A = this chain, B = another copy of it.
């Protein structure tokens, strides 16, 4: 791919233009806001204005509701030989393109999963898409050339392609992006109604839950409108959980009869389902490396002894989050500290703690130099 056009020089359009330009692609920039396109050009994202001849790929980087219209206009003008977009909903734009674009075979839907709270070309970053998933949603008419060009762009941006049907994509992002945004907004909207001084008690938890509510409300209303059915589906299930929870809480606030045990069960059940749900997004997450061995260390029941052990293990990247402490049994009141570690760490860790004078063993590798503190 040698030439690229970007229609819409906001955060996403400008960031991908920067990435392509850095890789030597000639980039042409357009936007209905003249200041935005000039800002993008001044950042080095490309040249303002239409290209002298059709480019290899045009990226329609406009809100979901405008994708099909802008695509039809640009295709009629012959802007490019293939087209993609970056809107965060895919089914409705695809339907509109199939219904109204001059040549739907030259279009493939796209959605890079990257963003920032801030918008506009000044927020753009050349590495915005590095190692991020970039979904492509070919329609039944999409040509092989359109797919290949979009894959080239994804490669230039350092992103990871994932091919899905447009409907499956929209169901997925309703759950993972659009409903979370609604939840953040519902929560943040309550903060204006609180008692005086309430927000002095705000902590990091509240800030995390509400952070994404700060996004551009026009863009987000467009996204939610374009995926209204899927978002409503998830929210309807969530509304059922909320109604059950409210019934339980009202009962627990006035526990006059024997329903309280069941209400408490409803409460614990929701909390436990939430904990289980977190596993779905923790699996394969870089923050959760496999831990497949344990090292047990016997320490004396003396003040500071456990801190001394954890200071030693910290040198090998093993912290208190990896430790469990139990009485070792026997007359002296010793403690057994069980450390859960990656298999590769267990032997050096064992060597280190025994060198410091503690009895230790591991289930990964027999430890001939130690007397096991079982």
Q: CB distance A305 to B231 under 8 Å?
A: no
Please state if A201 and B213 are interface contacts (CB–CB under 8 Å): no
How many A residues have CB within 8 A of the partner chain? Answer: 119
Q: Do residues B162 and A213 form an inter-chain contact, with CB atoms below 8 A?
A: no
Residue of A224, A323, A333 with most chain B CB atoms under a 10 A cut-off: A224
Known contacts: A164-B197, A195-B171, A270-B189. The answer to whether A235 contacts B213 by CB under 8 A is: no
Copy count, this protein chain: 2
Q: Are A172 and B194 in contact (CB under 8 A)?
A: yes
Of the listed stretches A177-185, A288-296, A345-353, A358-366, name the one at the interface; the rest are far from the partner chain: A177-185
B281 touches A206 (CB 8 A): yes
Of all chain B residues, the one with the shortest Cβ separation from A114 is B203
A148 to B183, CA, bound (A): 42
Assembly CA distance A34 to B41 (angstroms) = 67
A226 nearest CB neighbor, chain B only:
B252
Are A224 and B267 within 8 A (Cβ)? yes
Docked pose: A308 CA to B368 CA in angstroms: 63
With a CB–CB cut-off of 8 A, which chain B residues contact A369? none
Task: Give the residue of B191, B203, B275, B323 whose beta carbon is less than 8 angstroms from that of A122.
Answer: B323
A and B contact pairs by CB, cutoff 8 A, 30 listed: A35-B335, A38-B325, A39-B335, A44-B304, A113-B201, A115-B203, A118-B321, A168-B197, A173-B201, A179-B187, A180-B205, A184-B274, A189-B270, A199-B280, A207-B281, A208-B208, A209-B211, A210-B277, A210-B281, A214-B278, A215-B271, A221-B264, A221-B267, A221-B271, A224-B249, A225-B264, A231-B249, A232-B250, A235-B245, A242-B242
